[in-house]
Every structure is written in structure tokens, then in C-alpha cells.
Amino acid sequence: MTAPDKIDPLRGHCYCQFTTFKLHADPTIANMKMSAYSHSPADQKLHGAPFVWTTKWSKNAVEWENLELLSKYENKRGRTCKLRCPECGSPVGGWNAEKQEWTIWPPSTLARDEEGRIIGGERLKPTMHINYGPAHLVDLDDGLEKWEGLPRQSRRIA
């Protein structure tokens, strides 16, 4: 532990572990802005899955090693970019300059224990589904809120 009242940061990395980061996920600091399942067409294409577990973090919540070496794809010019490891090519996160927030995808980046569970994952549990509009590919009945787009900026479906 870092101090009696602090929680150690979570650790993450790309598939080959060339790109690493620390994630300050201490709930008392409120660094996490959102944890949700995203069903957007962009996330489906980027990750090759019907939906992705995404988390949004304040600017100071993530400490990258080798940030300057990461491959960057600007999907909204001057506003947002996706980050990939230059060695293995796996997606490791995203940056939104307009909102000053990081995107981290826990299943593909955060360290796991011997049984395959995400270390510290209980602090990050998703609370909703976003972009659950016409493009969603899988119907889910898990009791979580479902939003057509972004929460409180679109219609709540369930």
C-alpha cells in the first residue's frame, strides 16, 4: 500500500507488455468518470466484439510509460485519439483532448491474477450500457441501465 489511507494503483499493459501504465483507481479520489459497456459501431470495429467494457478517467489518473512511443490514431481530428502499442499493435487506451480524459479498456489491458481475474476489477464494475441504440448486436438482461447514446445526454432505454 502507498499510505494507510491510499490504495495502490492498478497496473496495466499491452499484450506484449512493452507498453505499461499505472491507473490510480482509488475510489476516494474519484478519478473514474464512468465504467460502462459500450455498444457503439466504432468500438465494435476497433475491438472486434459486439460490445466493450470501457472506463473513462481524469487526466491525472493514468501514468504511462513509453507514451511518446505509442502509435496514435486520431479518429476525431484534434479531439480524440486511440493508442496502440508500437510492438504488438494491441489497443491500450484513448485520449479525449476536449474532455481531458483517458479511456482504458480493463479486459484487454489490466493485470490479472493466477486465475485470470482482473486485479482490482471490483473497483471498476460497469454501471450501465451506453450506445445501446439500433446498432447494438446483443440483447442483454443484466439489470444495468441502458442508454441509446451517452448517459444523461440521450434517451434511457431501460
Give the start-end residues of each E strand in 19-157: 20-23, 32-38, 52-58, 62-65, 71-76, 80-84, 91-96, 101-104, 128-130, 145-146
What pLDDT shows up at residue 29? 72
> What is the block-wise mean pLDDT of the chain (158 residues), using blocks of 10 residues?
67 94 84 95 91 95 92 81 93 92 93 94 94 95 96 93
What pLDDT shows up at residue 30? 83
What pLDDT shows up at residue 26? 79
What pLDDT shows up at residue 5? 58
What pLDDT shows up at residue 1? 46
